[in-house]
Amino acid sequence: AQSVTQLGSHVSVSEGALVLLRCNYSSSVPPYLFWYVQYPNQGLQLLLKYTSAATLVKGINGFEAEFKKSETSFHLTKPSAHMSDAAEYFCAVGDSNYQLIWGAGTKLIIKP
């Protein structure tokens, strides 16, 4: 069965610092991977997706993620954190049966 692990339920960074949110997956087939962002009391919004076209995927709001097959990872990064990036971030993998398998989420805290 496929699974997604997000390391760290909470990550705290200073404004202007690098953001790194970790996601590891297990999949028996080439994965389709997604990162979503959720602001308080709102739905989830797609940040970026990996569909095998390129290993480095650029998304909205300056975020990007790199697919590393050997490490089964799809970590999300942003060079310089902004206060508006404070939110919860979810990683997900498609299971080829109309299902998305979700990670538990990582809450990103930005320190001024």
Cβ 11 vs Cβ 21: under 8 Å: yes
Cβ 91 vs Cβ 76: under 8 Å: yes
Does position 96 interact with another protein (CB under 8 A)? The reply is yes
Does position 104 interact with another protein (CB under 8 A)? The reply is yes
Ramachandran class of 54: left when φ > 0, alpha when ψ lies in -120 to 50, beta otherwise: beta
- In whole angstroms, the minimum distance from the beta carbon of 58 to another protein comes to 15
By CB under 8 A, which span of 13-21, 66-74, 77-85, 93-101 interacts with another protein?
A: 93-101
d(CA 62, CA 8): 21
By CB under 8 A, which span of 15-23, 57-65, 72-80, 88-96 interacts with another protein?
A: 88-96
Rounded to 5 degrees, what are φ and ψ at 71?
Answer: -105, 0
Does position 98 interact with another protein (CB under 8 A)? The reply is yes
Among 25, 34, 63, 67, binds another protein (CB under 8 A): 34
Does position 61 interact with another protein (CB under 8 A)? The reply is no
- How many other CB atoms are found less than 10 A from the CB of residue 79? 11
Contact positions vs another protein (CB under 8 A):
9, 32, 34, 41-46, 49, 51, 90, 92, 94, 96-100, 102-105
